[in-house]
Amino acid sequence: MRLMQPFAAQLQFHSGLIEPYGEKTVRRLSDMRGMYQDIAAMEELIKQGDPLLYEVYEVDVPHEEGQLIYCTSIIYPGKVGDEYYMTKGHFHSKESTAEMYFSLQGRGYLLMQTHDGQVSALEMVPGTVAYIPPFWAHRTVNTGDEPFIFFGVYPGDAGHNYGTIEERGFAKLVVERNGKPVLVDNPRYHPHPTLPRKQERATPTLPSPASRGGNGGNNAQSPREISGYREG
């Protein structure tokens, strides 16, 4: 690994812009074909102008072991049918790598799941610092009416595996019911075929009381810091 010089970037909390950035990813609805339930609503929105769903600004750091990649994600408000705008979602290619998300603006949910069927949904509001442990796929959802902006940092050699989520989907969807976000089962979810399934449980609504003690012995959550549920 070559010796790098220390550097800093400037992050605007209100817009999510981080400068200088090395790469900007832009995802429109047409990049998300197959990921929303209401295909007719999706095709109609694409026809009407193909809305911008989210952008990611990534600082220029080598994608190699030992480095830390950092970036901001900006998910715009909106829905496709009754499903909120969301990211594609991915596992890290090197699944033993973790990630942290620091929520800056707006509100939303961080959906996570493992290959063996465990599911987690954490509410994200400004100030929430969420930890995505190794082996958890992750997707973020904007459930508010303003941009949902968060800062993320992850190992340089993590890489991104989108294919598994493209094929199998997420076990849970975040949809609007009576003006509120609710977590429901994804009827089109294809569980991993070779792994034993967790027993099905009733799907709670969001937000629900925080579940405790299921995060590997970390008891540091206060009632204000976390709202969501975890299955498995």
Find the shortest distance in angstroms from Cβ 92 to Zn ion.
Answer: 6
Give the 3-state secondary structure of residue 142: strand
Taking CB within 5 to 8 Å according to partner kind, which of Zn ion, ligand S6P, none is near residue 128? Answer: none
User: What is the binding site for ligand S6P (CB under 6 A)?
Assistant: 56, 71, 73, 87-90, 99, 138, 140, 152, 154, 158, 160
Find the shortest distance in angstroms from Cβ 86 to Zn ion.
Answer: 14
Question: In this complex, which beta carbon is closest to ligand S6P, that of residue 93 or of residue 205?
Answer: 93
Instruction: Collect all residues with Cβ–Cβ distance below 8 Å to 26 and sequence separation of at least 6.
Output: 52, 55
Using CB atoms within 10 Å of the CB of residue 88, give its burial: 0 to 12 exposed, 13 to 18 middle, 19+ buried: middle
Find the shortest distance in angstroms from Cβ 209 to ligand S6P.
Answer: 27
Taking CB within 5 to 8 Å according to partner kind, which of Zn ion, ligand S6P, none is near residue 97? Answer: none
d(CA 109, CA 181): 9
Taking CB within 5 to 8 Å according to partner kind, which of Zn ion, ligand S6P, none is near residue 87? Answer: ligand S6P
Taking CB within 5 to 8 Å according to partner kind, which of Zn ion, ligand S6P, none is near residue 89? Answer: ligand S6P
Asked whether the beta carbons of 129 and 101 are under 8 A apart, the reply is: yes
Find the shortest distance in angstroms from Cβ 64 to ligand S6P.
Answer: 15
- Containing 39, the helix (H) or strand (E) segment is helix 39-47
Binding site for Zn ion (CB under 5 A): 99
